[in-house]
Amino acid sequence: MSTFSAPKGTYDLIPPDSAAFLAVREALAAPLRRAGYGYVETPGFEHVELFSRGVGESTDIVTKEMYTLTTKGGTRLALRPEGTASVLRAALQANLHRAGNLPVKLWYSGTYYRYERPQAGRYRHFSQVGAEAIGAEDPVLDAELIILAADAYSSLGLRGVRLLLNSLGDRECRPAYRAALQEFLRGLDLDEETRARIEINPLRVLDDKRESVQRQLTGAPMMRDHLCEACKEYHERVRELIAGAGVAFTDDEKLVRGLDYYTRTTFEFVHDGLGSQSAVGGGGRYDGLSEMIGGPPLPSVGWALGVDRTLLALRAEEVAPGAPASADVFAVPLGEDARRALFTLVTALRRAGVAADFAFGGRGVKSAMKSANRSGARFAVVAGDRDLAEGVVQVKDLASGEQAPVPLVDAVEELRRRVAGSSPTG
């Protein structure tokens, strides 16, 4: 055992759990690729000001949860606590918005960091798949992203994911609502920190999870009653589009999420099997974020789905995420000549696009076949001196137990054909 262990609130991703993780990440990303989103990857750390301006000075993320550091040159950096600000910064820096083909549609996958109290479903590092559509104000775009996320969860077989939907208005109608909400909140019995939040971003008080606060919010003014006609029409169009696509949702008038940059459409995917950390993903429209970080006006919308949380939801429903086998073919040599011959065969199979593995270490047949079964392989290739003298290898179907000789010279093509024929999509 090592002298060291993973830092508190973090975890190691190792087989076999890592296979399920990769399967979930792929399922969340697949609908985005089909919808024309291109992949983007940003640094693991950014300038602190990117998040304090974009995410919001009043948020817990900025005030309490960011990991920050100062370089030898005095530059203040932060490990990225979320993805949207970084992706938008990268798009602006590369002038993607000037190519004339808006919206710029991007997706990403990565690890993010927040200093939080560790608990089930909440870690100090976590993985997300995210999507951003930059440079267009269109309810169809909002609906597209919501539907893509719903389809991703559905493709994994999840049944208990619920969609919550709200509108936070825009710069035209939100100021009047903000003033009304502030007036209401100032009359409540709240602690000093929460009172300070009222003056910076009162909507964040609605998101306070403490029962002592939620009890006092009965009768609080709601954004839906203050939406301007343009925002009402926009939100109704989003609702119609996602309902028309067969995606069920619940209107949640208190949904504001934890970031300051959201405008208009705001949504969250939750799963009731995860306890207090029920959110598995969410997002919304952020029409003013580009200007907050020094860019031109670029209305945008996006989401981030938690890979870790999605895995927990799958386990709560006892659904396997369909992780691929580590190998389709497993080679079991009997003797030194067979080791050379089958290693050559395994190399050729891999080059032909077939996942193949090898019984390393000179183990006996029984031990090697156990490894073949553990790998999830569909076929085992066994060969000894007699087989090689006859120019054949023995191919065993590990599901049916049937075994038959195949000429060594034809083995690559025959195994490629069998693997393709036995695959779910074959």
Domains and CATH numbers, the chain: 17-173+227-316 (3.30.930.10), 329-422 (3.40.50.800)
Count of residues making up the chain: 426
pLDDT tens digits for 4-14? Answer: 999 998 989 99
pLDDT tens digits for 283-292? Answer: 999 998 999 8
306/308 Cα distance (integer angstroms) = 5
In the three-class reduction of DSSP (H, G, I as helix; E, B as strand; rest coil), residue 144 is classed as: helix
Instruction: Give per-residue burial for 228-243: e unless 16+ CB within 10 Å, then b.
Output: eeebeebbebbbebbe
Average pLDDT value for residue range 51-70: 76
Question: Three-state secondary structure along 5-48?
Answer: CCCCCCCCCCCCHHHHHHHHHHHHHHHHHHCCCEECCCCCEEEH
Is residue 52 over pLDDT 90? no
pLDDT tens digits for 131-172? Answer: 999 999 999 999 999 999 999 999 999 999 999 999 999 988
Give 65's contacts (C-beta < 8 A, 6+ positions apart): 81, 114, 115, 116
Burial of 136 (0-12, 13-18, 19+ CB in 10 A): middle
Q: Give the pTM.
A: 0.84
4/24 Cα distance (integer angstroms) = 29
Share of the chain above pLDDT 70, in %: 94
Q: Crossing angle for the helix pair 229-244 and 139-155, nearest 10 degrees?
A: 30
